[in-house]
Amino acid sequence: MPALLAENVTAGYGHSPIINDITLSAELNSVTTIIGPNGAGKSTFAKTLVGILRPTSGRIVVNDVDITRMAGHLIPRHGLVYVPQNDNVFKRLTVRENLEVGGFASRANTAARMEEILDIFTDLQKAVEKKAGFLSGGQQNLLAIARALMVDPSVIMLDEPTAGLSPAYTDVVWSQIARIAKLNTAVLVVEQNVERALKHSDEVHIFVAGRNHVHGAADEIAGLDLASIFLGRSHAS
């Protein structure tokens, strides 16, 4: 059983669905990436996973627990945590406070966990007392990821964690993603940079017009004609 399983999920904002019949799974110790053109429904899918949007059909299972209709704030307890695409830190809270909000276990646990996490995110260590709004865009994204790890998730869903970052900082974020996956976590990432997605992921899914158009191991996907897939043509190459 995969850590995360989404089966035939259909969802949207109003009456007509944005994403249709999406099936996708994510395994522990691996990086699963969703790529696809702008507006394909990647963020919509992410929001549906974590209860911000309600699927009209299909089901979502995390660690064998069906979370499809669960209230959003109960989902992290079952091991799935989400980092949104933009504006993902509490800007007027310090870095430390941001991390503390993520830890809902005991106070002692929170402190110990924060130490472990700051050991991984050395960049943040230097800025713990700084307000998160004063961090650079890249640091804010790292903080959001670090804070999500405070929950001790088995599945972490990152929506475009490298959007708007410089190439150097994008590498920093991706190396952290690889590291997180090795901590017995399933990492699900939305990424618009195809090249990086293929380089760093185990599994790749291509969303086009609200459907999970193509998926497979990263090296298989690398051999496909991605330009025509993105344009919505058939993936027979």
Partner 1 sequence: MSGIWYYIFTLVFFLFDYFILAMGLNIQYGETGILNFAYIGFVAIGAYVTGAFSLPNSVGTGQQYILGLSLPFPLGLILGGLAACLFAVIVALISLRRLRTDYLAMVLISLSLVLYDVCNNYVPLFNGADGLYNVPEPFAGVLHLTTNSFIPFFAGVTGAIAVVMWLVMGRVTRSPLGRTLRAIRDDDVVAAALGKDVFRNQLKSMLIGSFYAGIGGGLIMEFSGSFNPTAWLPGETFVVFAVIIVGGVGNNIGMLMGSLVVETLLVHLPAFLPDIPGHPGLIEYFDAVIIGVLLMVMLWFRPQGIVPERLRRAATFGVRDDLGAEANLPPDELSALAPSPVVQPGTLQARSATNE
Nearest to 145 by CA among 131, 161, 130: 161
> Token pair of 49, please?
């996973």
Nearest to 24 by CA among 71, 64, 58, 70: 58
Minimum distance from residue 201 beta carbon to ligand ADP (Å): 17
> Token pair of 61, please?
């299972």
Strand residues in 13-78 grouped as ranges (E): 19-26, 30-35, 57-62, 65-66
Size of the site for Mg ion (CB under 5 A): 1
CB 119 within 8 A of CB 101: no
Left, alpha or beta for 32 (phi > 0: left; psi -120 to 50: alpha)? beta
Q: How many CA atoms lie within 13 A of 132 on its CB side?
A: 23
Please list every residue from 92 through 121 that binds Mg ion, using CB under 5 A.
Answer: none
Binding of residue 88 to Mg ion (CB under 5 A): no
Binding of residue 159 to partner 1 (CB under 8 A): no
Binding of residue 142 to ligand ADP (CB under 6 A): no
Q: Build a one-symbol-per-residue string for 13-32: x at contacts with ligand ADP by CB under 6 A, - elsewhere.
A: x----x--------------
Binding of residue 91 to partner 1 (CB under 8 A): yes
Binding of residue 43 to partner 1 (CB under 8 A): no
Binding of residue 148 to partner 1 (CB under 8 A): yes
Minimum distance from residue 146 beta carbon to Mg ion (Å): 21
Instruction: State which of residues 20, 32, 33, 43 lies at the interface with ligand ADP (CB under 6 A).
Output: 43
Nearer to partner 1 among residue 20 and residue 153 (C-beta): 153
Binding of residue 39 to partner 1 (CB under 8 A): no
Rounded to whole angstroms, the Cα distance separating 215 from 25 reads 11
Binding of residue 214 to partner 1 (CB under 8 A): no
Residue found under tokens 């090296």: 219
Residues that bind partner 1 (CB under 8 A): 50-52, 71-77, 81-84, 87-94, 97-98, 100-102, 104, 107, 123, 126-127, 129-131, 133-139, 144, 147-148, 150-151, 163-166, 168-169, 172
